Amino acid sequence: MDQLQLTDFDVDQQLLALPGVSLLIFTSIGCSSCRWARHHLPELLLPIDRLCWIDAEENGGAVQRYGVFHLPTLFVIRDGEFYGTLRGTLSLDAIVAGLEQALAQAPDDLP
């Protein structure tokens, strides 16, 4: 599975241009759940094309635009269209169920 590190400067351009399903994940080095996500999410057999990481501490513009209030926060993007926040626990079953639910909804514009 591909992994990208995004910033305030390229997050929107990258997400609009990427084909397939991406998870945009806001994290912080000081967050234990974020460290767990960084280590374990790439190992899960998720039905996505890539993980897109963004450091919330260093990218306040993206944090504000996406309305991030807690970490880690996951968003679903498919073929440049925004499908919202992925809610639930950081487990394979919860993420797969959340992806199915999110992708069944109508897409919105990126924040």
Domain boundaries, the chain: 2-103
Q: What Cα–Cα distance (Å) separates residue 31 from each residue in 6, 40, 77, 87?
A: 18, 14, 24, 18
In the predicted structure, residue 109 carries a pLDDT above the cut 90: no
What class is the 2-103 domain? alpha beta
Please tell me the predicted confidence (pLDDT) of residue 9.
Answer: 95
Please tell me the predicted confidence (pLDDT) of residue 110.
Answer: 85
- b (16+ CB within 10 A) / e for 8-34: beebeebbeebeebbbbbbbbeebeeb
- Is the pTM value of this prediction over 0.85? yes
Please tell me the predicted confidence (pLDDT) of residue 82.
Answer: 96
pLDDT digits (tens, 9 = 90+) for 49-84: 999 999 999 999 999 999 999 999 999 999 999 999
Please tell me the predicted confidence (pLDDT) of residue 42.
Answer: 95
